[in-house]
């Protein structure tokens, strides 16, 4: 018996081995199945629902995947030898219930157990998103999630520009953009997706050209329409997150109402002169009950109380701050990391350079989002610009 065989025999005497069928059963009951094979092996197929942690990084990364050392762990390689060494490594780290799958993935396949071909990033994607891959909060898994995600931007204006720009850079795979406007020279003071030679071009088209120049991997879905009660649901459906950068009340209320009905997070931003605010309206957020936009403002103000669009000014840089915060919130929601601005409203006063946070509560009597309410239907409000009060105004 050579040294390797002696070592394997010794490991077999201490590490419990389970057959693939039993491993599948244990996995169904909650055990963690870890495939420790190399990426090129895994790319051909891997047990369904397995975690893929290459042998060389197993001890370094297992705690990010499963910090609970009491959870049973099943380690698998191709034939059942590498997994014995890997299992030994986990035992030494303190994992209490570690098994090696005898016969490995080869026997798993022969036994007809469920296999999936895992998504992986291409070489180009790996290069592009390298700085994300280094962060455990994102990593390859998170980046794949971003690539598979769909974010809808309401408006390709002041807020939509920085938000879409950064989301495209971050690799959010599908960006829907709703805007029925064309680029005007007066937009260029703040709407950084557009360019002087595109004055007169539809904003969705101009946005698509800029975003795809930055990241050709991003799919841009153009909705060159104005949101109305009869198209809002159809347009929003299928997206994971909505970023509302609209500049008018009818749209804002339609977006809110459709997000409430569809259970979508609504990352809301608005700007006025030197002030901006951001919040996430998401009554169905799993961790705490948040309000919808109507919990704060049940109805739009009467038009005579709002300044006209032409009167409302805004510092050109300000939407860059607010829209960028909206992009960050969207990414946090997509990755399920951190604490989103649900039930919190962040206000930014650029003149004194101060951020303030306000608690915003769900209205238990809200006609749209209160529990047990029947959706009352969409409302097409009369079109006008601006705001119930100064900080709430907007010139997207
Ligand atoms: Zn509400």
Measured in angstroms, how far is the CA atom of residue 344 from the centroid of ligand 1? 14
Question: CA-to-CA distance for 227 and 225, rounded, in angstroms?
Answer: 6
pLDDT of residue 309: 52
pLDDT of residue 64: 85
Q: pTM score > 0.85 for this model? A: no
Measured in angstroms, how far is the CA atom of residue 376 from the centroid of ligand 1? 12
pLDDT of residue 384: 61
Residue 36's region, left for phi above 0, alpha for psi from -120 to 50, else beta, is alpha
Measured in angstroms, how far is the CA atom of residue 246 from the centroid of ligand 1? 19
Measured in angstroms, how far is the CA atom of residue 366 from the centroid of ligand 1? 5
Measured in angstroms, how far is the CA atom of residue 368 from the centroid of ligand 1? 5
Measured in angstroms, how far is the CA atom of residue 311 from the centroid of ligand 1? 30
Measured in angstroms, how far is the CA atom of residue 268 from the centroid of ligand 1? 14
pLDDT of residue 388: 40
pLDDT of residue 125: 96
pLDDT of residue 311: 61
The first and second tokens of residue 182, run together, are: 């064309």
Adjacent-strand bridge partners of 346: 278, 357
User: Could you tell me whether strands 98-101 and 16-18 are parallel, antiparallel, or unpaired per DSSP bridges?
Assistant: parallel
pLDDT of residue 307: 59
Q: Mean pLDDT per 10-residue run, the chain (396 residues)?
A: 92 96 97 95 94 93 92 97 96 97 97 93 95 95 96 98 98 98 97 98 98 98 97 97 95 97 97 96 94 95 65 90 98 98 98 98 96 93 57 45
Measured in angstroms, how far is the CA atom of residue 370 from the centroid of ligand 1? 6
Measured in angstroms, how far is the CA atom of residue 240 from the centroid of ligand 1? 20
Question: CA-to-CA distance for 165 and 208, rounded, in angstroms?
Answer: 10
The first and second tokens of residue 23, run together, are: 């491993």
Measured in angstroms, how far is the CA atom of residue 361 from the centroid of ligand 1? 9
Contact 232, 255 (CB under 8 A): yes
Instruction: Choose among 209, 147, 143: nearest CA to 172.
Output: 147
């Amino acid at each position: 018996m050579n040294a390797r065989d002696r070592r394997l025999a010794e490991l077999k005497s201490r590490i419990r081995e389970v057959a693939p069928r039993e491993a599948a059963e244990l996995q169904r009951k909650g055990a963690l199945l870890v495939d420790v094979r190399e990426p090129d092996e895994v790319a051909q197929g891997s047990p369904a629902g397995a975690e893929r942690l290459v042998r060389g990084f197993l001890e370094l990364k297992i705690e990010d995947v499963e910090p609970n050392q009491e959870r049973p762990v099943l380690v698998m390689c191709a034939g059942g030898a590498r997994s014995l060494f890997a299992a030994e490594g986990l035992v030494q780290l303190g994992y209490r219930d570690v098994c090696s799958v005898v016969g490995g993935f080869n026997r798993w396949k022969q036994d007809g157990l469920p296999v999936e071909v895992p998504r992986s990033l291409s070489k180009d994607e790996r290069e592009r998103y390298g700085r994300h891959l280094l962060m455990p909060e994102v990593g390859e898994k998170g980046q794949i999630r971003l690539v598979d995600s769909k974010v809808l931007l309401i408006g390709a204006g002041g807020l939509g520009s920085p938000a879409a720009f950064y989301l495209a850079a971050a690799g959010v795979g599908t960006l829907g953009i709703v805007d029925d406007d064309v680029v005007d020279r007066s937009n260029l003071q703040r709407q950084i997706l557009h360019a002087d030679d595109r004055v007169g071009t539809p904003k969705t088209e101009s946005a698509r050209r800029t975003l795809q120049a930055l990241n050709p991997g991003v799919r841009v879905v153009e909705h060159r329409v104005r949101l109305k009660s009869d198209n809002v649901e159809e347009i929003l459906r299928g997206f994971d997150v909505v970023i509302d950068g609209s500049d008018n009340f009818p749209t804002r209320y339609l977006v809110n109402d459709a997000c409430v009905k569809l259970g979508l997070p609504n990352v809301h931003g608005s700007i006025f002169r030197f002030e901006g605010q951001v919040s996430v309206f998401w009554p169905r957020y799993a961790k705490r009950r948040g309000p919808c936009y109507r919990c704060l403002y049940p109805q739009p103000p009467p038009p005579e109380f709002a300044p006209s669009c032409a009167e409302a000014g805004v510092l050109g840089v300000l939407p860059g701050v607010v829209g960028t915060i909206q992009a960050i919130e969207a990414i946090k929601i997509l990755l399920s990391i951190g604490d989103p601005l649900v039930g919190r409203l962040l206000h930014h006063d650029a003149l004194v350079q101060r951020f303030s946070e306000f608690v915003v509560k769900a209205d238990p009597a809200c006609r749209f989002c209160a529990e047990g309410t029947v959706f009352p239907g969409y409302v097409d409000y009369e079109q006008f610009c601006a705001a119930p009060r100064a900080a709430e105004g907007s010139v997207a």
